[in-house]
Amino acid sequence: MTYRMLALSIDGTLLRSNSRLSRQTKDAIEYVKDKGVYVTLATERPFPAAAKVAKALKVDNFLVTHDGAFIASDVEEPLFTKKLHEDKTFHIAEILENYKCHVRLLHENFSIGNKVRQKGQLIAKMTIGIQDPLYYPVTFVDSICNYLSENPVAPPKIQAQFFEKTEAISALEELKKEVPGIEVTMTQDGRLDIVSFGISKTRGIQVLGHHLGISLEETVVIGAGVNDIDMITQAGLGVAMGNAPQQVKDAADWITRSNNMHGVAYMVKEVFRKQLKVNI
């Protein structure tokens, strides 16, 4: 099989535990680009945060971001976007504000987050690990619902980071019961990711592949999270990082080294070494 596209997750895959890109990873991306392979990122991160990583990798292609809800190479001219309706966004926020969690509305141009009171009544402004770039404005408010009442927003994605996993499970069940037309997934660390029904990284890769004339069978996917399992199983070659949970490894065709042991670079050289240059 000749592989024509490489789709990579960011967290736990491209980035090391210190949230940095290694020189080996950057060189590997250049190597596979020189082979004529189309490189994209498939990530839960919002577009501006993904674009920052892509720029460091010298990748200026379409990126599958917001868990597949926003696909673009330029934020002002997306190839595909499916947003949560303003009314649905408000309903989701109403439910989430009954729980102790940090909520983040992830628009493609900005983010709205609630202020969370932790122990000692200190107000914490959590970033949920997305490392907001300076050009991606974040507004922290006392109440998401109050803000939305005056400033309706239709974001591609909503995140909610919980302090207790039991609360995350309860919120997930309530959202699925009370709000139709959404997809809700939970990560291992108790974060809920909420997008419109039918949206996923896999679907995003399919949309991009259709635009490029590249099938899933011609695509290599590398991921490390439970939310990467679907695209790993659907790709022509699904690769799990060595640091991935066992259930991700069990779903993969191939397991590479960990993100701290240059797993992306190792996989790229092993899989693409004998492949001749392809034309997109």
- Tens of pLDDT, residues 121-132: 444 444 444 445
Question: pLDDT at position 118, please?
Answer: 55
Query: What pTM did the predictor assign?
Result: 0.92
Name the pairing type of β-strands 182-186 and 191-196.
Answer: antiparallel
Q: Which two tokens stand for residue 268?
A: 């790229």
Q: How far apart are CA 242 and CA 257, in angstroms?
A: 4
User: What is the overall mean pLDDT for the chain?
Assistant: 92
Helices (H), the chain: 23-34, 47-56, 86-96, 144-150, 165-178, 201-212, 229-234, 246-251, 263-272
Question: pLDDT at position 280, please?
Answer: 63
Q: Which phi and psi angles does 253 have, rounded to 5°?
A: -80, -25
- Tens of pLDDT, residues 6-49: 999 999 999 999 999 999 999 999 999 999 999 999 999 999 99
- Tens of pLDDT, residues 246-275: 999 999 999 999 999 999 999 999 999 988
| Residues near 36 by beta carbon (within 8 Å), at least 6 away in sequence | 4, 277, 278, 279, 280
Name the pairing type of β-strands 111-114 and 182-186.
Answer: unpaired
